[in-house]
Amino acid sequence: MFTRRHLLQSATMGFGYLAFAGMNAAQADQQAPQNPLAPKEPHFPAKAKRVIFLFMGGGPSHVDTFDYKPALAKDEGKSGKYGGRLMKSPWEFRQRGQSGLWISDVFPEVAKHADDMTLIRSMHCDQPLHPGATTQMHTGTSQFIRPSLGSWTLYGLGNENDSLPGFVSLNPPAGGARNMGSAFLPAIYSGTKIGGPGGQFFQRFRGGSGETVPDIRNPNLTDRQQRAQLDLIQTLNREKLQRDKVQPGVEGVIESYELAFRMQDALPALMDTSRETQSTLDMYGIGQNETDGFGKQCLLARRFVEAGVRFVEVTHNGWDQHRNLKADLQTRAEGCDRPIAGLLQDLKQRDMLKDTLVIWGGEFGRTPAAQGGDGRDHNNKGFTTWMAGGGVKGGYSYGGTDEHGYAAVDKPCHIHDWHATILHLLGLDHKRLTYRYAGRDFRLTDVHGNVATEILA
């Protein structure tokens, strides 16, 4: 009996050759034609093998979550540096775990994992508005269209599962193709999105067998028939590519068909969570109103990395508390606190946290001064992200902001530095991870980036 896998192997042209078919000769020599998604050795040995990036869209307030500022409480009501009145956090901060990391009460469950986390309290970026900062966080620049962090990672390390995309984005916001795009890297390195904006997909998602993404199965054809059809489609596509010589769009089409064909088997199996135990579901807060949607996303993230997907991004939006901070931030945090804690715990009990890098963070933080009575404005000069597992220190705090939390002053970590550090944790030298395009070598960090070596375990 034929499986899709057999059919694929018997297909005339190996998966991946195509990405290189259109390249000029010099480049083709430089990178021998092979499956561009085949696992690759990193530049140097490293602990982290894969990444789960928990992206908190909207800019979560650092001074109410992970950046403890006693002076802010003390100076409550005084004039802020740039106008407005300083507002202390409505939440208490406490020292957590053996390490005594300060984390606020808004993340009680995550705080229990303090001893596995490194807080980077000196983040900063160049963009003060959501779209620009989000794009910079994902691609290093908001000015040009550049490959995203996930694409670079996949380009650097390949994928461990050839039937699944190597870079998956769960529930990305609308219009965010650029944040998961591969730009000039071959299209196979771009992110595949599952579920659209607003979380409706995961609200409806029940995780049963046969339930995945739309159009995952052909209602009429056998696998064998569909493979024959796909061979014809790809023959036509390859002819076109030969005529056009260089046409990244057509390469993208060709690669996306191969991937789609394999996904038809792999994805339903992967997304069938019906065999997860009740205690696992509970751990992620699945089945509880506030945490159900994001819990499912986190559970899927674990299943994806477990299956060998290199980079999974999970989006949790709505951190833009210009007003109603107390109520809204609480609700936002409640929506993800247990799921994230559950994810860390689950990875740990599967012994996967040691080589899975979990990253948490939004595009910027918020001002220590109040806005609209009970809110905070954007602040890109200082904010906090954290990492856990994958070779980072546990219970560690890196860098810091000024006494109120306006700007990174101690060991500032720019987005470029953050990118360099993430790549380093994966065994990739950000200066060596380059791609030649239009006669020039490009890299994620452009001409910037310093690895925050202190956070390495």
Partner 1 sequence: MLPIRAASILLITLFAGITSAAELTTEQRNFFESKIHPVLIRECYGCHSNKAGNVRGGLRLDTKQLTLLGGGSGPAVVPGDLDESLLYNAITHQDFEMPPNRKLPQTVIADFRKWIEMGAPDPREKALGEIQSKVKPEDIQQAKENFWAYQKPVKHPLPQVQHQDWAKTDIDRFVLARLEQAGLQPAEDADAETVLRRLCFDLNGLPPTPEQIAFFKKGWQQDPDRAIAYVVDRLLEKPQYGERWGRHWLDVARYAESTGRTVNMTFPEAWRYRDYVIDSFNEDKPFDRFVMEQLAGDLLSKKSDEEFAKNLVATTFLAIGSKDLNEANRIQFRANLIDEQIDATTRVFLGTSVACARCHDHKFDPIPQADYYAMAGVFQSMETFFGNPQSEYGAFQGLQERQTSTLLVMPIDDPSPGGKSLSDSELQRIKDDLEDKKSQLVDLRRSSSNPMQLLRQRAILFGSMSVLSNQIASVDQQGKPYSFCMGVQEVDRPTDARLLVRGEIDQPAQQVPRGFLQVLSNEPAKIGSNESGRLQLAEWIASEENPLTARVMVNRIWQHLLGQGIVSSTENFGSTGQSPSHPELLDQLSTRFVDSGWSVKTMIREIVTSRVYRMKSTFNESFHEIDPENQLLWRANPKRLDAEAIRDAMLAISDEIDLDRPHASIVAKAGYTRVANGQLRLPQDTSAGMMRGPFGGGMGGGRFGGRFGRIDNPLQGEKAKVRSVYLPVVRDEEPRSLSVFDFADSSGIIGTRETSNTANQSLYMMNNPFVIQQSEAFAKRIAEQSSSTDRQVELAFVMAYGRPATDSETKAAESFLRKFIADGASRSKALAMLCQSLFASAEFRYLD
Cβ proximity to partner 1: between 44 and 144 the closer is 144
Q: Which is nearer to partner 1, 149 or 267 (CB)?
A: 267
Closest contact distance (angstroms) between CB of 167 and partner 1 is 11
| Nearest distance from C-beta of residue 343 to partner 1, angstroms | 16
CB of 340 to partner 1, least distance (A): 19
- Minimum CB separation of residue 110 from partner 1 in Å reads 22
Distance CA 396, CA 393 (A): 6
Q: Which is nearer to partner 1, 108 or 252 (CB)?
A: 252
Residue 296 or 310: which CB sits closer to partner 1?
A: 296
Cβ proximity to partner 1, 119 vs 263, nearer residue: 263
Shortest Å, Cβ 451 to partner 1: 28
Nearer to partner 1, 5 or 217 (CB): 217
CA 18 to mean position of chain CA atoms: 27
Cβ closer to partner 1: 115 or 231? Answer: 231
Backbone φ and ψ for 424, nearest 5 degrees, come out as: -60, -45
Q: Rounded to whole angstroms, how far apart are CA atoms 78 and 180?
A: 42
Which C-beta is closer to partner 1: that of 58 or that of 150?
Answer: 58
| Shortest CB 304 distance to partner 1, Å | 14
**Smallest separation (angstroms) from partner 1 to the CB of 41:** 26
- Least spacing, CB of residue 225 vs partner 1, in Å: 7
Min separation Cβ 346 and partner 1, Å: 15
Nearer Cβ to partner 1 (370/428): 370
Tokens for 38?
Answer: 């085949």
